[in-house]
Structure 1
Amino acid sequence: MRNVNKMKLLLLADSETERLEITEMLKNIDYIHLAGDSIDENKTWESLERATADILLMGSCFNGSRYAFAEKVSKQFPHTSIIMVETELLEETMHNALFAGAKDVLIKPIDPEKLMNSIYRIHQLQERTAVTKAEAPQKKLRKSELGQVYTVFSTKGGVGKTFVSINLAASLAKNPEKRVVLVDLDLDFGNAALALNLYPKFTITDIIDDIRHMDSDLIESYLIPHESGIKVLPANLQPNMNDFINAEHIHVILESLRESFDYVIVDMPGRFVETIMPALALADQLLVITTPELSAVRNIKVLLVTLKDLNFPQSKIRIVLNKEDLRGEIKKNDVETTLNKKVDASIGLDYHRVLSSLNRGVPLVYEYPKNTLSKNFEKMCAKFIQDELLKA
């Protein structure tokens, strides 16, 4: 550890006692420069404005009131990695911390060794990112530092989640200047590779063996190219292999892909699973898929309530209406009224061509580019890209 460059760390503790305890711990970590310690958000913000820190170690406060502050820091100072300190290990607190932008979560009382390991892991990630950029000038530069993560989700089966994921990826890949990767995180029943007529040599499990050495270059060697221009990271062929995958693995994988791809499309499972929660936390846009069916719309309404309870940013949610039948009983307006949320994109209905494209392993937007559904995918992509530009 002697050769590690000192990292600039700011501490925002929950109490004076905690501040003193943690500063004493940090004295024993020789690769840390404590640039400031406080229990006051305003003082910490002033310190960040004077000179951005590498790490902000902060408590969530007893009532979780500091999540908003963490989210503000992660947006304003993206180079500062946040380590959140929680009072207890609960699924809700983990979600809140990740959605607020935390890179890692520690539980009180803080174990000095776990604190040291957390800081060192973040240091390694930052060093690896810097080396990758220095050694790979041939990679195309993007307007934004990291690629956009489009997470495709629904807790209702049969709504066409994988179909939307595949065609969204293929539609974005029509721009030759953009690099697109499709990640199948439906670890138990993922069939994105099958729907693209691909026979995986590697799956997500193979990456885990190299996870400690993972970077944007190494992960690319595990991806499968498709004729549409996208690259694919398949789910496991054997669900029992998923026992070896955890949330930290998924976080590292997605972060590595964001470094070299303009768009990372994530096909999620049809339920909340702790392992794949980083795909929600890292999502720039969360595409919630529904169909104009009463059961599907009601299911999505419950999902939206759950996301709100988890403090997921509502501004990131996009409602996508698949299989819209203009002659059907349930119209887009009905869906919007039930959900109390506008439909951001409508795909349409064409059973014959959709089934043909899935059976042939060719995205509909690639095989039938002039089809109405393909045009709708193009409109959806244009709208979402424009939304991101307006945010920037």
Structure 2
Amino acid sequence: MNNILLATDFVDLRDRFRAATGQPIPALPPGPLPESPAQLFQQLGGGDIPEIVVIDERSGTEAALALASRLDIECPGIAVVLVSDRVAELGLSAMRAGVSDIVPTESEEDEIRAALDRAIRVTRQRAPAGLGDGTDLGAGTQSRRGQVISVVSPKGGVGKTTIAANLAVGLARSAPHSTVLVDLDLQFGDVANALNLTPEHTIVDVVQGAAARDSMVLKTFLTQHDTGLTVVCGPNSPAEADLVGVSELTHLLQTLAAEFRFVIIDTAPALTDHTLAALDMTDDLILVTSMDVPGVRGLRKELDILRDLGMGFDRRHVVVNFADTHSGLTRADVEATIGTGVDLVLPRSRATAVSINQGVPLMQNEIRDPMTKKLRRLVDRFAPAPLKEPGPAATKLGSRLGGRHRLRRGGTR
């Protein structure tokens, strides 16, 4: 019997389980129990991902049950065996926490082996589901690849992150738990702020260690949004950008595309090596510009560079943001300059500014605003079923309830 991990500080328990299985069993280093599966996997270092985690209740009842509960929710491919002499007292709480079995501290070897056998059967019967749509992806048998949508712009300040966040939220609402948003602006990414998130882990964590090797572990390092959207947040500091290599990023995007129906990538405002790596995997490209001369000319240059690199993209969507009838430019002017059609024009909107400052995307709260309607059109280009605008009765009810509230291959920087 293998793939067992002991979470205990007590040598007697380690010896008892090792004697029962007849083999060495890895154990966590001395110290408090991890608070989350992600911390547990970090403590494993380069070790294999276990099928069974044995938690010693003597390390702290509350901490033991909390860790068991998070393993049950976040890692369905791992069974938890609790070791405790308070079987009758903790039985109901342990069951609610997802513990598969409780073993008394002084159990005989046969009893330990039987409990471990039962746990193995449990974990193999409920094979780990894919992150996105419930498909088992652990063995790499995924028959289809998710749709990768990259949002790009040659310059900052054009609303690229706002558009990416609203698109991701809209897709997540149309098909819950189907969408992941990746913040690929590794120096000054702002996706976490756009969604009012305080991430425990960032992209730096998910491209390293066990999370980079196992999709089930990866799940525990991702940040969840209230709408059902999953997020890979950017680094905490610009200095950490160098910790994300291009090959590691490519592997991450491949894993996410195997797990989710939609992978939305918010890129940096430049054709960096990381952006180009993402574009190599992109199915649909959303190009964003503001309705001003510098933005439009910058977009024209980016289109030329992408064409020179052989990245023409048949599925390309041009979005013009901050449209204003008094700006001196028209949609026809933009199309003439960039040499291609504009697919969507987004107006200036006071509601957008409020949503940005609050960290609540317009597609999350469905504020009635011209910008919301336009963003819904963008979502409908990709959504499995077009999102319907709520009717008057639903809007009234919703208002009542919601009142609580680097240059590569010729690129330029």
TM-score tier (shorter): 0.5 to 0.7
Q: Which residue is 2:21 aligned to?
A: none
Percent identity over the alignment is 31
Listed as ranges, the matches of 1:102-113 within 5 Å are: none
Aligned equivalents of 1:183 and 1:314: distance in 2?
20
Letter in 1 for 2:310: N
Q: Which residue is 2:201 aligned to?
A: 202
Q: Which residue is 1:152 aligned to?
A: 151
Q: Which residue is 1:381 aligned to?
A: 379
* 1:354 aligned residue (352, 355, 380): 352
Alignment RMSD, CA only? 2.5
CA contact (8 A) 2:352 2:371 kept: no
Aligned equivalents of 2:325 and 2:151: distance in 1?
24
Aligned equivalents of 1:238 and 1:269: distance in 2?
15
The alignment partner of 2:320 has SS state of strand
How far off its partner does 1:317 sit? 2.5
How far off its partner does 1:217 sit? 2.4
Letter in 2 for 1:203: T
How far off its partner does 1:224 sit? 1.0
Letter in 2 for 1:250: L
Listed as ranges, the matches of 1:92-107 within 5 Å are: none
1:368 aligns with 2:362: no
Please report the TM-score for the alignment, with normalisation by the length of structure 1: 0.60
1:136 aligns with 2:129: yes
CA contact (8 A) 2:165 2:181 kept: yes
Q: Which residue is 1:335 aligned to?
A: 334
Aligned equivalents of 2:211 and 2:218: distance in 1?
11
Q: Which residue is 1:165 aligned to?
A: 164
Listed as ranges, the matches of 1:1-392 within 5 Å are: 135-136=128-129, 139-140=133-134, 145-177=144-176, 179-210=178-209, 213-350=212-349, 352-384=350-382
* Inter-CA distance 227–135: structure 2 relative to 1 (3 Å threshold): closer
Please report the TM-score for the alignment, with normalisation by the length of structure 2: 0.57
Letter in 2 for 1:136: A
* Inter-CA distance 215–318: structure 2 relative to 1 (3 Å threshold): farther
Aligned equivalents of 1:135 and 1:196: distance in 2?
28
* Inter-CA distance 305–177: structure 2 relative to 1 (3 Å threshold): same
Letter in 2 for 1:313: G
Aligned equivalents of 2:225 and 2:201: distance in 1?
14
> Structure 1, residues 70-98: CA drift from partner, whole Å, max 9, x if none?
xxxxxxxxxxxxxxxxxxxxxxxxxxxxx
Aligned equivalents of 1:192 and 1:137: distance in 2?
24
The alignment partner of 1:184 has SS state of strand
* Inter-CA distance 137–269: structure 2 relative to 1 (3 Å threshold): closer
How far off its partner does 1:175 sit? 0.9
Greater gyration radius: 2
The alignment partner of 1:311 has SS state of coil
* Inter-CA distance 362–135: structure 2 relative to 1 (3 Å threshold): closer
How far off its partner does 1:381 sit? 2.1
Q: Structure 1: which 5+ residue stretches go unaligned?
A: 1-130, 387-392
Aligned equivalents of 1:374 and 1:274: distance in 2?
33
The alignment partner of 1:323 has SS state of strand
Aligned equivalents of 2:202 and 2:147: distance in 1?
22
> Structure 1, residues 124-172: CA drift from partner, whole Å, max 9, x if none?
xxxxxxx9x9753894359981111110111112111111111111111
Aligned equivalents of 1:302 and 1:261: distance in 2?
32
Q: Structure 2: which 5+ residue stretches go unaligned?
A: 1-123, 137-141, 385-413
CA contact (8 A) 1:357 1:367 kept: no
CA contact (8 A) 1:181 1:231 kept: yes
Aligned equivalents of 1:135 and 1:295: distance in 2?
49
Aligned equivalents of 1:252 and 1:322: distance in 2?
32
The alignment partner of 1:221 has SS state of helix
> Structure 1, residues 3-48: CA drift from partner, whole Å, max 9, x if none?
xxxxxxxxxxxxxxxxxxxxxxxxxxxxxxxxxxxxxxxxxxxxxx
* Inter-CA distance 194–134: structure 2 relative to 1 (3 Å threshold): same
Aligned equivalents of 1:137 and 1:206: distance in 2?
20
> Structure 1, residues 329-369: CA drift from partner, whole Å, max 9, x if none?
2111111111110011222220x211211111111121234
> Structure 1, residues 262-313: CA drift from partner, whole Å, max 9, x if none?
1111010011111342211111111110111011000100010000110003
Q: How many residues align?
A: 254
Aligned equivalents of 1:368 and 1:354: distance in 2?
11
How far off its partner does 1:212 sit? 7.5
> After TM superposition, where is structure 1 displaced by more than 3 Å over at least 4 residues in a row?
133-144
> Structure 1, residues 85-127: CA drift from partner, whole Å, max 9, x if none?
xxxxxxxxxxxxxxxxxxxxxxxxxxxxxxxxxxxxxxxxxxx
CA contact (8 A) 2:128 2:216 kept: no
Aligned equivalents of 2:129 and 2:243: distance in 1?
31
CA contact (8 A) 1:214 1:252 kept: no
Aligned equivalents of 1:163 and 1:340: distance in 2?
25
Aligned equivalents of 1:144 and 1:383: distance in 2?
23
Aligned equivalents of 1:176 and 1:293: distance in 2?
35
CA contact (8 A) 2:177 2:228 kept: no
CA contact (8 A) 1:247 1:275 kept: yes
Aligned equivalents of 1:305 and 1:339: distance in 2?
9
